[in-house]
Structure 1
Amino acid sequence: MKVFITGGTGFIGRHLIRRMAQTDHELRCLARPSSDIAHFEELGVEIVYGDVTDKPSIVAAMQGCDWVIDLANIYEFWLPDPSLFAKVNIEGTQNLMEAALETDVMKVVHVSTALVYGKPKDTPFTEESKPGPVQFSEYARTKQKGEEFAWKLHEENDLPLVSIYPVGVLGLGDTKATSQVVRNLVQRRMPATAYNNSTVVLVHVKDVVEGIVRAIEKDGNIGERYILGKEQITLKDYYKMVCEIADVPLPFLALPGWMAMSTAHMLTALSRITKRPPWLGMNVDQMRSFKTGYLCDGSKAEKELGITYTPIRVGLEEEVMAIKQALMLQQQ
């Protein structure tokens, strides 16, 4: 099959390209002219230039493809221009899904996030749970709106859709919020922890990639949804595990929730003025997400896609080792 992939220059996308290059599928990857595409060229992947915010470029790039894997999104908890969340996560998703209908592809795997569920009544929630009334970040809110549009096209226009909902993703190459906490702990830049009793679910990037590949290749699963991730951990145990692996002391202070949130509000307000990210990534949306936490059940992917989840510790060991190696190189 000829597979059209968006978001291939991102964290999950780079791992996916390497995995898909081991198959017999032909890969066509969308990239912006400014993107680093060296890993595409090394693997012999066809590159087409365009942007999900430019629908004509998507339609042209998608011509002749059988399957689509949509990884394009903005995953941040703070941006100097917050309008970009809607531009990419909502409008970009709309453009891509409409292009998929216009080009008659056979299947679209849309990679969303478990955060679109917010805090449902079901605990742990599953793919069939009704999302809670609130999403706790602009990232999650806009991803949920893009998701709604995709499923509307599925229901009303027979878009051949499958959705993937990764939880917090660990592994080599991550530069986003999950990894930033690890880096701050390893470098001993994090003076205190917060929301230690909140529980989250984490997954290794290779398990996410395997879930995507198996979802696109599986017959008869149009209309299905798959949560990817199962292992639960409190933030306190997460911090402790990172520090144990890195052989650094755990921050002595544990901020009460009101203090953590007040600090995040102050730093976020300051960042609106400076247009620079909040100190240590401590922004309101991230603190809201930490405060709420989430519990979900990714066992459907185990049963239907044959996924075997990698222990959280393995992903953290990889991240910590990579961070330490990078720090050693900087010191040389």
Structure 2
Amino acid sequence: MDKCSSHLFHLKLRFIHRKVGGKSETLEDNQRRRSMKVLLTGASGFLGGRLCHALLRHGHSVRAFVRRTSDLSFLPSLSDGVALELAYGDVMDYPSVLAACTGCNVVFHAAAIVESWLPDLSKFESVNVGGLKNVLRAYKETDTIEKIIYTSSFFALGSTDGYIADENQMHSAKFFCNEYEKSKTIADKIALEAAKEGVPIVAVCPGVIYGPGKITGGNVVARLLVERFNGRMPGYLGDGSERFSFSYVEDVAGGHISALEKGRPGERYLLTGENASFMQVFDIVATIANTKKPSLNIPLFLIAFYGWLYVLFCRITGKLPLISPPAVLVMRHEWAYSCEKAKRELNYKPRSLREGLDEILPWLKKLGLIKY
């Protein structure tokens, strides 16, 4: 029996319910999951940091895979005695990935570059595609990994102009708004092919993640709110016709853990939320903060022009742009999705956009990044 078949066989055994007194008994399985050794790639990122905290709360031992240069300020302190260890390396460096995977029962592969534009576009494929390939290769060369939870993206399914999509949608791959979308689409197909070959991998696809945590390219809502409250975003972005699926970061972290406990290998789960426009985001924020709503709409062509200037500025300063021409291309489409499958199978419970924004605004205010 080859390794993939053996893993599937043992996974099936673990999920067989034993009847005790007429009730299904899975206590041993549940207890074992609570004490699993977990490797978390991308642990220092916006989502990774929240996921690390959530995994520790659920009783797992976490090996956080980070680079030597990573900002670890959002990770739990090792001095607190938590079941956390650091493994240094890079997802593009296979030997370090293999070493980090060794001895772990589960891999949460959340490492990715989440930006709309980079000066070196090849990094999207190197990290977002190459990183997944290295994790899959390490799985084949180790004998302890029982499940891989891969953080995919709504971009991997493609735009939804005029309708709401679910997990059955496959990206046409005929056009990509940016290199991030392209890299996540390629990686998604690699994950699905690996599952067909017997790799116990579950793909979870968050929407536009937002909430307290690192203010990075992956937390674009927080970045836009900082710009809005500091007068650098004087109006709505576009006419409000676009829709995105917004996912609160804590809900997404919880969805990842549910995918470990309940997710079926080979399946994709949309960890999305309320479908809304950025105009609605700004309106809700104005209501919460008791401030005036924007009085004008900034046309997308003007935002694109500003994006080109921002990119030029970035090439001079090295600071990544908040708005770029590829980001404007994304805003010309809709990205609305249904998370009913995750609700049904993972007990995923996304909060409303109003509830999420109710939490992020006081957090930004406490940090002194916004005033209202």
Check whether TM > 0.5: yes
Say if 2:341 is the partner of 1:297.
no
- Shift of the 19–274 alpha-carbon distance from structure 1 to 2, 3 Å rule, reads closer
1:134-153 pair list within 5 angstroms: 134-153=175-194
CA offsets per residue over residues 53-112 of structure 1, 9 Å max, x none?
100111111111111100000111122332222221111121112112221311101001
Following superposition, the deviation at residue 238 of structure 1 comes to 1.3
Residue 212 (structure 1) aligned with residue 252 (structure 2): no
1:83 to 122, 147, 160: 122
Q: What does residue 83 of structure 2 align with?
A: 44
In structure 2, what residue type is equivalent to 1:242? V
Aligned residue identity for 1:173: G
Report what 2:158 is aligned to: 118
- Unaligned runs of 5+ residues in structure 2 are 1-35
Q: Distance in 2 between matches of 1:286 and 1:121?
A: 16
Distance 1:292 1:67, change over 3 A: same
Range moving further from structure 2, 58-67 or 317-326: 317-326
Give the stretch that moved more between structures: 181-190 or 201-210. 181-190
Q: Is 2:236–2:296's contact at 8 Å kept on the other side of the alignment?
A: yes
Q: Which residue of 1 aligns with 2:55?
A: 20
The 5-angstrom pairing of residues 57-136 of structure 1 reads 57-104=96-143, 105-120=145-160, 123-132=163-172, 133-136=174-177
- Taking only aligned residues, the RMSD between alpha carbons, in angstroms, comes to 2.2
Does the CA contact (< 8 Å) of 1:5 and 1:28 recur in 2? Answer: yes
Judge conservation of contact 1:114–1:165 (CA < 8 Å) in 2. yes
Q: Could you state the TM-score of these two structures normalised by the residue count of structure 1?
A: 0.91
Deviations 1:244-303 (A, max 9, x none): 22333333221223333333234334534554333xx12112111122131111110000
When residues 37 and 44 of structure 1 are mapped into structure 2, their CA distance, relative to the original with a 3 A threshold, is: farther
Q: Which runs of 4+ in 1 moved over 6 A?
A: none
Query: What aligned pairs does 1:283-322 form with structure 2 within 5 A after superposition?
Result: 283-322=324-363
Count of aligned residue pairs for this structure pair: 326
TM-score by length of 2: 0.81
**Amino acid in structure 2 at the alignment position of 1:27:** V
SS of structure 1 residue aligned to 2:204: strand
Residue type of the alignment partner of 2:248: H
- Aligned-pair CA distance for 1:49: 1.3
Check 1:121–1:186 CA distance in 2 against 1; reply closer, same or farther (3 A cut): closer
Indicate if the aligned counterparts of 1:118 and 1:136 stay in contact, CA closer than 8 A: no
How far does residue 315 in structure 1 lie from its aligned partner after superposition? Answer: 1.7
Please say if residues 226 and 370 of structure 2, whose CA atoms lie closer than 8 Å, have aligned partners that are also in contact: no
Cα distance change of structure 1 residues 264 and 242 upon mapping to structure 2, 3 Å threshold: same
CA distance in 1, matches of 2:138, 2:229: 44
The secondary structure found in structure 1 opposite 2:337 is coil
- The structure-2 alpha-carbon separation of the partners of 1:325 and 1:107, relative to structure 1 and needing over 3 Å to count, comes to same
Change (3 A) 1:187 1:273: closer
- Identity of aligned pairs, percent? 29
Find 1:11's aligned residue among 33, 42, 46: 46
